[in-house]
Chain A
Amino acid sequence: MRDLRGVCGAAVLLALAPLALPTYGMTLLTEALILGLLAMSLDLMVGYTRLVSFGHAAAYGFGAYASGWLLLHTSLPMLAAIPIAALLAGFIAIGVAWICTQASGVAFSMLTLAFAQLLYAVAYKLTSVTGGSDGLAGIPRRPGPLGLHVFVTRNGFYYLVVIVLVAAFVFCRALVRSPFGAVLRGIRENEAKTVALGYNTRLYKIAIVAMSYGLGALAGALYAPFAGFANTELLFWLLSGQVLIMVIVGGSGTLIGPILGAAFFLTVQHQLSNYTEAWALFFGLIFMAFVMFAPEGIWGLLRARFRRNSVLPEYRSDVAGAR
């Protein structure tokens, strides 16, 4: 419950941001929140179920292309194109998840990467639909329905992103604290035992992968009208890697950590890229350091400092089971 008050506080701060930040800052913040949504969606898989996906860029890119295409070639308003793109992605992700969960461990991760690479290659070839290596450009933020155009402006779109992120966060939080979430936790800590208890873990894994990819696609679907374009960079494995870094460095298994990780990543990227071309290298090294020495991430480190009565510093009592 303490968490929820913090979230409300954060939501208020976010709502007030346009008053304090310059245009440049607002653009950065909007992108950070979109990436934060992407990172949080990956956390459902990596942090809560220990299913490492190397292909999350596929969800992002697919969502962006889908909403971009809908906005360019139909007269659907933005508020319809975005959810449609996300739902479509989630639906397809069920099939992908069914295939990937045929394997487990490393093989699972490689299958997610393989699918992402496949999508990347397809996007290059399907020039008629995706614009090939040029991608889709000039994606409009179409107002509507019923003439609703408050979200079309820069600040208006920012508020749309904030609303979507907060809603997604509330959804994810409810999910991980639910009975479903308790089973995910069991899968994370000892899948064989969870099976032995009578759970069909495959179905749970398929469900969480589909939801995770669907939310990732939602982030991508927001990105297209935000940036006005969608291209194959969004599907490239480097982006998958960057999102994974955001999750780990921010703090996996916490939902909030990845959002912080995204903000951290984006901020440092923008600052560092003014000085050096090597910022990606810098991040790779930070990532490795966190994996080795601080797997609980920034958020985990912060919380450990303020937590007083836990037996194990890494015992997380906020996930499905807290009283």
Chain B
Amino acid sequence: MPLYAFLVVQSVNALSQAALLFFLGVGLTLIFGIMRIVNFAHGAFYMLGAFIGYSAVRLTGSFWLALALAPLAVGVVGALFEFGILRRLYRRDESAFLMVTFGLALVMTELIRLGWGPEALQVAPPPVFSGIVMLMDEPFPTYRLFLAGAGIVVALAIWQFLERTRLGLLIRATSQNAEMVHALGTDVNLVRSTVFGIGCGLAGVGGVFAAPLVTASIGMSATMIIDAFVIVIIGGMGSFPGSLLGAVLVAFVQVFGEYYLPDLALALMYLIMLAVLVFRPGGLLGKEA
């Protein structure tokens, strides 16, 4: 395959990967931006999305229905968690949040293992996208193309949501000055629960989308939380465009790194995170430290 064709194919591949990572990272950064909490359980919510998606597909036979239902369910679980548990911890220091969400990650992992068993589960992609398409004269899975497109669409949708809707405005305002928003009469608690739910729901979306590609498995929780964190660190905690940039960067490093330096690909990602932490601790697009 000529070089330019290879680059194109792998770039589209990387974009599909970036879409998955974006779903994961945007929720985490949103939650951090509003609540200054790092949700250690974020990878577990992603995983929950994948498993609920699996069950939804088995029950209804429709991937699309699963895509609608699973994130909703995950979002509700997230909102309930915030309401019932996180809310009590706002006066404590950040290590309490870290540990409680870590505990949640463990509990969710175990619940999923008990509910769905320890084996990885296969989810079939929607029939319309389960074929092959010719890209640069090479066969390329349609599903990945779909994923890349979906990522772009969702990113645009979120952007518009933040810019133009009332809730989006509230979210942006609360991330800058929660007290002021509260003083203006908004129920900050409600905003927080909603945002936490939305953030988890987005992770759930990522999980459902990821399931046909990587299968739903128990180990997802730990690997995904690191990925999510790396993205958000690179892009800047609390920065929506940052999560986009971070996802794209990490995806390209992973895809091309896997090809050129397979053994170092993993380390390469951590090295980038490290470099960002050293030279621009606020992230590439975040606020200056």
**A–B direct touch, CB within 8 Å, in complex?**
yes
Q: Does A54 contact B (CB under 8 A)?
A: yes
Q: Does A140 contact B (CB under 8 A)?
A: no
Known interface pairs A99-B274, A248-B99, A291-B100; A114-B226 also in contact (CB < 8 Å):
yes
Interface size grouping (class) on chain B: 35 or more
Task: Pick the interface stretch among B66-74, B158-166, B195-203, B263-271.
Answer: B263-271
Query: Which one, A99, A110, A118, A277, contacts B114 given CB within 8 A?
Result: A277
CA distance A103 to B229 in the complex (A): 13
Which chain B positions have C-beta within 8 A of A103? 277, 281
CA distance A117 to B273 in the complex (A): 14
Q: Does B223 contact A (CB under 8 A)?
A: yes
Number of A interface residues at 8 Å Cβ cutoff, please give it: 37
CA distance A120 to B48 in the complex (A): 24
Q: Shortest distance in angstroms between A308's beta carbon and chain B's nearest beta carbon?
A: 27
Q: Shortest distance in angstroms between B92's beta carbon and chain A's nearest beta carbon?
A: 8
Contact across chains for B110 and A284 when beta carbons are under 8 A apart: yes
Q: Shortest distance in angstroms between A261's beta carbon and chain B's nearest beta carbon?
A: 14
Q: Does A285 contact B (CB under 8 A)?
A: yes
Contact across chains for B233 and A107 when beta carbons are under 8 A apart: yes
Contact across chains for A278 and B229 when beta carbons are under 8 A apart: no
Which chain B positions have C-beta within 8 A of A210? none
Q: Which of B254-288 contact A (CB under 8 A)?
A: 263, 266-267, 270, 273-274, 277-278, 281
Per-residue 0/1 for A106-126: is the Cβ within 8 Å of any B Cβ (1 yes, 0 no)?
110111011101100100010
Contact across chains for B103 and A284 when beta carbons are under 8 A apart: yes
Known interface pairs A106-B98, A281-B107, A287-B103; A292-B88 also in contact (CB < 8 Å):
yes
Contact across chains for A278 and B85 when beta carbons are under 8 A apart: no
Q: Shortest distance in angstroms between B276's beta carbon and chain A's nearest beta carbon?
A: 10
Which chain A positions have C-beta within 8 A of B109? 238
Contact across chains for A292 and B100 when beta carbons are under 8 A apart: yes
Contact across chains for A278 and B114 when beta carbons are under 8 A apart: yes
CA distance A311 to B136 in the complex (A): 75
Contact across chains for B106 and A125 when beta carbons are under 8 A apart: no
Q: Does B60 contact A (CB under 8 A)?
A: no
Contact across chains for B96 and A295 when beta carbons are under 8 A apart: yes
Contact across chains for A280 and B110 when beta carbons are under 8 A apart: yes
Per-residue 0/1 for A239-280: is the Cβ within 8 Å of any B Cβ (1 yes, 0 no)?
001001100100000000000000000000000000001101
22 A-B residue pairs with CB within 8 Å:
A52-B98, A102-B274, A102-B277, A106-B98, A109-B98, A110-B229, A111-B277, A113-B222, A117-B223, A118-B267, A118-B270, A241-B106, A244-B102, A277-B114, A278-B114, A280-B106, A281-B110, A281-B111, A284-B104, A285-B107, A291-B99, A291-B103
**Known contacts A110-B226, A238-B109, A284-B104; can you find 10 more A-B pairs with CB under 8 A?**
A102-B278, A103-B281, A106-B98, A107-B277, A111-B273, A114-B270, A248-B99, A285-B107, A288-B103, A288-B107
